[in-house]
Amino acid sequence: MRKFGIIGIGHVGVTIAYTLVTKGIADELILIDNNEGKAVAEQLDLQDAQARLDTTTQIKIQDYSELKDVDILFLTAGKIDAAKETGSRWAEFEFTNAMVKEVAPKIKESGFNGIVIDTTNPCDAITQYLQTSTGLPQQQVFGTGTFLDTARMQRVVAKQFNVNSKNIAGYTLGEHGDSQFVAWSGVTVNSHPLVEFAKQQGKNLDYAAIEEEIRKGGWSVYQGKGYTSYGIATCAVKLAQAVLSDAQLECPVSCYNEEFDTYIGQPAVVGKNGIEYVNHVSITDDEKAKFKNSAETIKSKFATM
């Protein structure tokens, strides 16, 4: 039985739930939200959909005790409207910090010992706070981090060359926030180093402008529809599938960094145990300085909790 739990069934949580159900990924799904009416409504709506699906998912709501044997738990609660004026994910910090204080003891009390995937902002700080609050091993608690920002990098770079975004490789690293950066030294297009490919195509890339577009990608979506959902939900589900299938998927996620003693977006290998190991890749000295700056940014803000 593949059993999932979702705490927080707003736009992101319900998109994850819909994906798990309609793709037949979940055999059992537990939905928990502080708005019980919303939980009931989403349960009924997903149950209605199943008469037209080839698979069946047992859906239960509002019961923390059901988390005891959950394989993967998503934390997706947030308050995106808090960031409307500032454009910063840290604007949600007060709300999401309080939310973790409320739910972590309940998760712990349930006996849960599976894998936690966090999408809640500010992602790096909240993921670390959740890990320390639940007492779960660091490898079992990680966040989507810069996995989504890397997808945005792939989209933006692909647009520059009119290629498929799947053919762009590389990483956006650091904070899932303003101090993130693209490790341009490792970015490739159709397996060619970006700098060489750009020369071949006769293009002079404005890296600063591209990074700004990537960094503000989420806000562009938010300004248009009031929230983000598809990109982040897809990232979360892909990570969950990597855990279930022990895929040994290498990708950038928010996980613990020993050097800087903080959770941060960095390359890691994801498998049945969660974070199997951090994959230390070569980056330039300038990129190392940016990574250090991002880590210190996260730590300084985390210290205010």
33 known ligand binder: yes
9 known ligand binder: yes
Q: At what angle do helices 217-225 and 207-215 cross, to 10 degrees?
A: 40
6 known ligand binder: no
13 known ligand binder: yes
Nearest to 256 by CA among 97, 132, 75: 132
176, 194, 249, 263: the active-site residue: 176
Distances (CA, A) of 214 to 104, 155, 211: 32, 9, 5
Asked about 192 being catalytic, the answer comes back as no
* Alpha-helix runs per DSSP H in 92-206: 93-110, 123-134, 147-161, 194-200
202 known ligand binder: no
The amino acid sitting at 89 is R
φ, ψ dihedrals at 69, nearest 5°? -115, 25
**DSSP line for 40-100:** HHHHHHHHHHGGGSSS--EEEES-GGGGGG-SEEEE----GGGGTTT--GGGGHHHHHHHH
Residue 212 CA to residue 215 CA, distance in Å, equals 5
Tokens 């490792």 belong to: 186
Nearest to 117 by CA among 260, 277, 8: 8
274 known ligand binder: no
Distances (CA, A) of 6 to 29, 64, 99, 124: 8, 10, 14, 19
Q: Given its phi and psi angles, is residue 274 left (phi above 0), alpha (psi -120 to 50 degrees) or beta? A: left
Just list the catalytic residues: 176
Binding residues: 8-13, 33, 97
Residue list, annotated binding site for NAD(+): 8-13, 33, 97
